[in-house]
């Protein structure tokens, strides 16, 4: 059993968010599985990550100290994820490489999506 059913981030518009995330998540083998008027769901086999229009109709915001970490199947996938994000309107928050703060030997990178959400992609992380 997993601890988390799914995670979601708020976006201002689904069309632009889907355009970014379809390519970004493809770099780690994750596909869009469902789309409605209010969300787009991604995963491998079942939805685990959602892009959502905020339910209250207000602007989406990102939380200080909050990030979502995606599991990569290889170091090269971490590099491809980071490159795709930067090449498609994202911002670098930490180039691909090892991180001393982890208790294991990881290869990870951090980016901000075009909407301000902080993302991590990690190979050999806690879920390895």
DSSP string, 88-108: TT-EEEEEEE--TTSSS--EE
Q: Is residue 45 part of a domain?
A: yes
Q: Is residue 90 part of a domain?
A: yes
CB-based contacts of 19, cutoff 8 Å, min separation 6: none
What is residue 73's three-state secondary structure? coil
Q: Is residue 73 part of a domain?
A: yes
Q: In the predicted model, what is the mean pLDDT of the chain?
A: 95
Is it the case that residue 128 has pLDDT exceeding 80? no
Q: What is the pLDDT of residues 22-50, one digit of tens each?
A: 999 999 999 999 999 999 999 999 999 99
Mean pLDDT of 6-33: 97
Q: Is residue 1 part of a domain?
A: no
Q: Is residue 62 part of a domain?
A: no
Region of 73 (left: φ > 0; alpha: ψ -120 to 50; beta: rest) is alpha
Contact indicator for 12, 19 with CB cutoff of 8 Å: no
Mean pLDDT of 61-72: 93
Give the pLDDT of residue 1.
66
Q: What is the pLDDT of residues 43-57, one digit of tens each?
A: 999 999 999 999 999
Q: Is residue 112 part of a domain?
A: yes
Total count of domains within the chain: 1
Q: Is residue 39 part of a domain?
A: yes
What is residue 82's three-state secondary structure? helix
Query: Exposure string (b/e) for 57-80, b if CB count within 10 Å is 16 or more?
Result: eeebeeeeeeeebbbbeebebbbb
Residue 81 lies in domain: 7-54+67-123
Q: Is residue 128 part of a domain?
A: no
- Considering the entire predicted model, what is its pTM? 0.93
CATH number, domain with residue 109: 3.10.180.10
């Amino acid at each position: 059993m997993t601890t988390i059913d799914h995670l979601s981030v708020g976006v201002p518009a689904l069309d632009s968010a889907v355009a970014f995330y379809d390519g970004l998540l493809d770099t780690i083998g994750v596909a869009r599985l469902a789309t409605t008027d209010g969300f787009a769901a991604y995963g491998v086999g079942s939805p685990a990550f959602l892009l959502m229009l905020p339910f209250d109709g207000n602007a989406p915001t990102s939380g200080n100290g909050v990030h979502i970490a995606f599991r990569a199947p290889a170091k090269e996938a971490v590099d491809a994820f980071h490159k795709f994000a930067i090449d498609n309107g994202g911002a670098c928050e930490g180039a691909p490489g090892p991180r001393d703060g982890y208790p294991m030997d990881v290869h990870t990178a951090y980016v901000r999506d075009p909407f301000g959400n902080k993302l991590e992609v990690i190979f050999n992380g806690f879920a390895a």
